[in-house]
Amino acid sequence: MSALSPTELLALTRAAKRKLRYDSPLDPDNPEDTALLVDLNEARGNFSQDKLLFELGVDAISQTLDEENPYQYIVFGGHRGCGKSTELRRLAKFLHQPNLYYVVLVDALTELDINNLNYSDILLAQAKVLIQQLQDDAIPLEAAYLSKLEQWFSQRVNTQLSERQLVGKLETGGKASTGLPFLGNLFASLTTAISVGSTHKEEIRTLVRNSFSEFASAFNLLIRHVEEQLKLAGHGNKILFIIDGTDRLSNNDANNFFVRDIHQLKQITSHFIYCTPIEILTENNRIGQDFSVFRLPMVKIAEKGATDYHPIPIAKLTELIHKRTDPRLFADTTALDQLIKASGGHIRDLMRLMDFCLAETLGRKLIDTDIANTAIKFLATEYQRVIQQNDYALLVEIDRADKSHVPVSQQSCHLLYNLVLLEYNSYWWQSHPVVRTLPAYQLALTA
Amino acid sequence: MDWTQQIDSQHSGTLLRLLYLMEDGKRFCLILAEYTLGEYRNTIIKELASHYPDQAIVSAAHSEDIVATLKATAATASVIHIIDTQCWFDDSKDYSLLHRLNQRREWLAQHVDRGLVIWLSVAQVSHFAHEAADLWAWRKALVNFCQAIEATPTPLVYRQVIDEDNSTLADKHQRLTEIQTYLASRTAYSLADALLWQEQARILRRMGDLDAALACTLQSVNINKAHNDKRATAVSYGDWADVLQARGEWDEALRIRHEEELPIYVALGDKRNIAVTMGKIADVLQARGAWDEALRIRREEELPVYEALGDKRSIAVSERKIADILIYRGELDQALLILTERCIPSMKAIGATKDVAVFQGIVADILQDRGKWDEALRIRRAEELPIYKALGDKRSIAITMGKIADVLQARGEWDEALRIRREEVLPVRVALGDKRGIAFTMGKIAEVLQARGEWGEALRIRREEQLPVYEALGDQHSLLIGQTNLAQLLQTLNPQQHATEIRQLLTTALNTAIDLHIPEQDIIRKRLQALEPDSKP
- pLDDT tens track for B317-355: 899 899 988 988 889 899 999 999 999 999 999 888 999
CB contact under 8 A, B28 and A418: no
Distance from CA of B156 to the nearest CA of A (A): 29
A residues 220-249 near B, CB within 8 Å? 245, 248
pLDDT score of A335 more than 50: yes
Mutation site, B22, B66, B101, B103, interface A, largest A CB count within 10 A: B103
What confidence score (pLDDT) does residue A174 get? 39
Please count the other Cβ atoms lying within 10 Å of the Cβ belonging to residue B387: 20
What confidence score (pLDDT) does residue A168 get? 47
Domain boundaries, chain A: 6-20+312-384, 48-296, 391-446
CA A379 to chain centre: 24
3-state secondary structure B164-219: CCCCCHHHHHHHHHHHHHHHHCCCCCCHHHHHHHHHHHHHHHHHCCHHHHHHHHHH
Contact B428, B165 (CB under 8 A): no
User: What length is written for chain B?
Assistant: 537
Residues of A in contact with B121 (CB under 8 A): none
Residues of B in contact with A356 (CB under 8 A): 17, 141
- The whole-number average pLDDT for the span A332-336 is 93
pLDDT score of A137 more than 60: yes
Specify the DSSP class assigned to residue A42: G
DSSP secondary structure string for all residues of A288-322: HHHSEEEEEPPP--S-TT-SS--HHHHHHHHHHHH
Which chain B residue has the Cα nearest residue A349? B137
CB contact under 8 A, B263 and A364: yes
Q: Does A384 touch chain B (CB under 8 A)?
A: no
What confidence score (pLDDT) does residue A198 get? 62
- pLDDT tens track for A230-260: 999 999 999 999 998 888 887 788 888 898 8
What confidence score (pLDDT) does residue A161 get? 64
* Rounded Cα–Cα distance for residues B420 and B60 (Å): 75
Distance from CA of B138 to the nearest CA of A (A): 6
- pLDDT tens track for A336-360: 999 999 999 999 999 999 999 999 9
Specify the DSSP class assigned to residue A330: B
Which chain A residue has the Cα nearest residue B107? A110
Query: What is the band of A1 on the pLDDT scale with cuts at 50, 70, 90?
Result: very low
State pTM to two decimals. Answer: 0.79
Q: Does A413 touch chain B (CB under 8 A)?
A: no
Structural domains in chain B? 9-145 (3.40.50.300), 153-269 (1.25.40)
Which among B23, B126, B138 has CB closest to A386?
B126
pLDDT score of B536 more than 70: no
What confidence score (pLDDT) does residue A172 get? 39
Mutation site, A9, A23, A417, interface B, largest B CB count within 10 A: A23
Which among A113, A378, A385 has CB closest to B126?
A385
Residues of B in contact with A362 (CB under 8 A): 16, 20, 263-264, 267
Contact A170, A189 (CB under 8 A): yes
Residues of A in contact with B139 (CB under 8 A): 382
Which among B28, B142, B267 has CB closest to A385?
B142
Query: What is the band of A319 on the pLDDT scale with cuts at 50, 70, 90?
Result: very high
Query: What is the band of B240 on the pLDDT scale with cuts at 50, 70, 90?
Result: very high
Burial class (CB in 10 A: 0-12, 13-18, 19+), A355: buried
Phi, psi of B247 (to 5 degrees): -85, 0
Q: Which residues have CB under 8 Å from B248's CB, separation 6+? A: B474, B475, B476, B477, B478, B512, B516
pLDDT score of B80 more than 90: yes
Q: Among the residues of B302-343, which ranges form H helices?
A: 303-309, 312-328, 332-338
pLDDT score of A285 more than 50: yes
The amino acid at A102: Y
Residues of A in contact with B20 (CB under 8 A): 358-359, 362
Residues of A in contact with B267 (CB under 8 A): 362
Residues of A in contact with B106 (CB under 8 A): 24, 109-110, 245
How far, in Å, are B24, B28, B80, B303 from residue B114 at the CA level? Answer: 9, 4, 7, 39
Distance from CA of A161 to the nearest CA of B (A): 27
Query: What share of residues in chain B are helix, strand, coil (percent, to 5)?
Result: 75, 5, 20
Q: Does A291 touch chain B (CB under 8 A)?
A: no
- pLDDT tens track for A60-109: 888 889 888 899 999 998 888 888 888 888 899 999 999 999 999 998 88
Q: Does A442 touch chain B (CB under 8 A)?
A: no
Closest C-alpha among A43, A83, A87, A77 to residue A302: A43
CB contact under 8 A, B137 and A81: yes
- pLDDT tens track for B390-407: 999 999 999 999 999 999
CB contact under 8 A, B138 and A22: yes
Distance from CA of A95 to the nearest CA of B (A): 25
Residues of A in contact with B102 (CB under 8 A): 248
Which among B23, B137, B264 has CB closest to A80?
B137
Residues of B in contact with A417 (CB under 8 A): 133
CB contact under 8 A, A358 and B20: yes
pLDDT score of A117 more than 90: no
What confidence score (pLDDT) does residue B124 get? 93
pLDDT score of B537 more than 80: no
Which chain A residue has the Cα nearest residue B125? A385
Distance from CA of B315 to the nearest CA of A (A): 31
User: What length is written for chain A?
Assistant: 447
Percent of chain B with pLDDT over 90: 59
Mutation site, B142, B224, B255, interface A, largest A CB count within 10 A: B142
A residues 334-353 near B, CB within 8 Å? 348, 352
- The whole-number average pLDDT for the span B439-444 is 94
Distance from CA of A4 to the nearest CA of B (A): 14
Q: How many alpha carbons lie under 13 Å from residue B192 in its C-beta half-sphere?
A: 13
What confidence score (pLDDT) does residue A160 get? 65
Which chain B residue has the Cα nearest residue A249? B103
Query: What is the band of A29 on the pLDDT scale with cuts at 50, 70, 90?
Result: confident
Residues of B in contact with A419 (CB under 8 A): 137
What confidence score (pLDDT) does residue B466 get? 94
CB contact under 8 A, A359 and B16: yes
- The whole-number average pLDDT for the span A129-146 is 88
- Cα separation of the two ends of chain A: 45
CB contact under 8 A, B138 and A23: yes
What confidence score (pLDDT) does residue A387 get? 94
Contact B318, B326 (CB under 8 A): no
What confidence score (pLDDT) does residue A171 get? 40
pLDDT score of B378 more than 90: yes
- pLDDT tens track for A159-218: 666 555 554 444 433 345 567 777 787 788 777 777 766 667 777 888 888 888 888 998
Closest C-alpha among B251, B289, B259, B290 to residue B277: B259
- The whole-number average pLDDT for the span B431-451 is 92
- pLDDT tens track for B269-307: 899 999 999 999 999 998 888 999 999 999 999 999 999
Give strand pairing partners of B117.
Answer: B31, B81
Mutation site, B17, B140, B233, interface A, largest A CB count within 10 A: B140
- pLDDT tens track for A39-51: 887 777 766 788 8
Counting one residue from A and one from B, how many pairs have CB atoms under 8 Å apart?
A: 77
Which among B30, B137, B140 has CB closest to A355?
B140
* Rounded Cα–Cα distance for residues B346 and B325 (Å): 20
Specify the DSSP class assigned to residue B474: T
What confidence score (pLDDT) does residue B149 get? 66
- pLDDT tens track for B1-38: 677 788 898 999 999 999 998 888 888 899 999 999 99
Query: What is the band of B516 on the pLDDT scale with cuts at 50, 70, 90?
Result: confident
Closest C-alpha among A444, A431, A435 to residue A390: A444
Which chain B residue has the Cα nearest residue A352? B140
* Rounded Cα–Cα distance for residues A209 and A190 (Å): 14
Distance from CA of A74 to the nearest CA of B (A): 22
